[in-house]
Amino acid sequence: MLFLALAFAVTALAYASVGFGGGSTYTALLALSGISYTVLPILSLSCNLLVVAGGCVRFARAGTLPWRRALPICGVSVPMAAWGGTLVVSERLFTGLLGVSLLIAGGVMAMETMGRRSFGHPEGQRDRLPSWGRVIALPIGAGVGFLSGVVGIGGGIFLAPILHLSRWGESRAIAGTTSLFILLNSLAGLAGQATKLKGEEVADLTLYWPLLLAVGIGGQIGSHLGVKVLSPALLKAATGGLVMLVGLRLLARFLTLWTGGDNGL
């Protein structure tokens, strides 16, 4: 448990620094640790909430959370996340889908960063964004919310690359929006996932309180670094690297499930 708590703390610090909650990595770590698949999404979403709650506060205080543009995206995603959380999917389908999605998203962001092309817009140009970026934000938010609810994560790791590629805003605004998106989606997804819990599984969850403490500490440190210290370019590079790392880890887990003889979805 000590090693897992340390891994969670480092994950929370790294993800909070780029506006994420870290749910996908928590999920991968928990899966590799052999923790029951039935309680895994609950633990991951709970950790997400602790990390992004502090991040939302810090981004808001720094003036990098564009409430007027962020709330409509969250408004369409939350009910979809709650609905998705009530559905049952296999571990294999969950792992493969999430791994491929994250690997592609992380690769695109990494290539953009190495090519020195800006994902977002300068601070003063936020109100002159391309209209198509604003149009696709709502349906994309709804789709990401549903997928996030199904697999038990906050969804920011899907949303952020899309917002960057659609030139929705500058990097810090996207980080703040992503943090809020994860917070609200995690709450909704947690509510949906809780409907599937059994009595003995609720008791099992109390054993993992050290993980919540670890991400609470790591998340506070990471969100402070993201708002006060890290540059937009570093935020993009870190985001791409983290997304690719998680994607590779989940794909390795998917191959293990496939070769292990579990050929059903």
Map out the domains of the chain as residue ranges.
2-259
What's the CA gap between 111 and 169, in Å, rounded? 19
**Minimum mean pLDDT among 34-43, 125-134, 160-169, 241-250: which range?**
125-134
Report pLDDT digits (tens) over 160-180: 878 877 778 787 888 888 889
Residues 15-50: pLDDT tens digits? Answer: 777 667 777 778 778 877 778 777 888 888 899 888
Q: What is the mean pLDDT of residues 6-11?
A: 88
pTM metric for this prediction: 0.77
**What integer pLDDT is reported at residue 117 of this predicted model?**
45
Mean pLDDT of 131-140: 71
Query: Mean pLDDT: which of 67-81, 150-164, 186-200 is highest?
Result: 67-81
* Position with higher pLDDT, 190 vs 137: 190
Indicate the average pLDDT of the chain. 78
The answer on pLDDT for 5 being more than 50 is yes
- Give the Å distances, CA to CA, from 81 to 49, 60, 165: 14, 23, 23
Q: How confident is the model at residue 231 (pLDDT cuts 50, 70, 90)?
A: low
Name the one residue in this structure whose structure tokens are 């559905």. Answer: 87
pLDDT reported for residue 150: 81
Q: In this structure, is the dihedral angle defined by the CA atoms of residues 228, 77, 159 and 70, taken in order, positive or negative?
A: negative
CB atoms within 10 A of CB 57: 15
7 pLDDT higher than 90: no
Compare 73 and 17 and report the one with higher pLDDT.
73
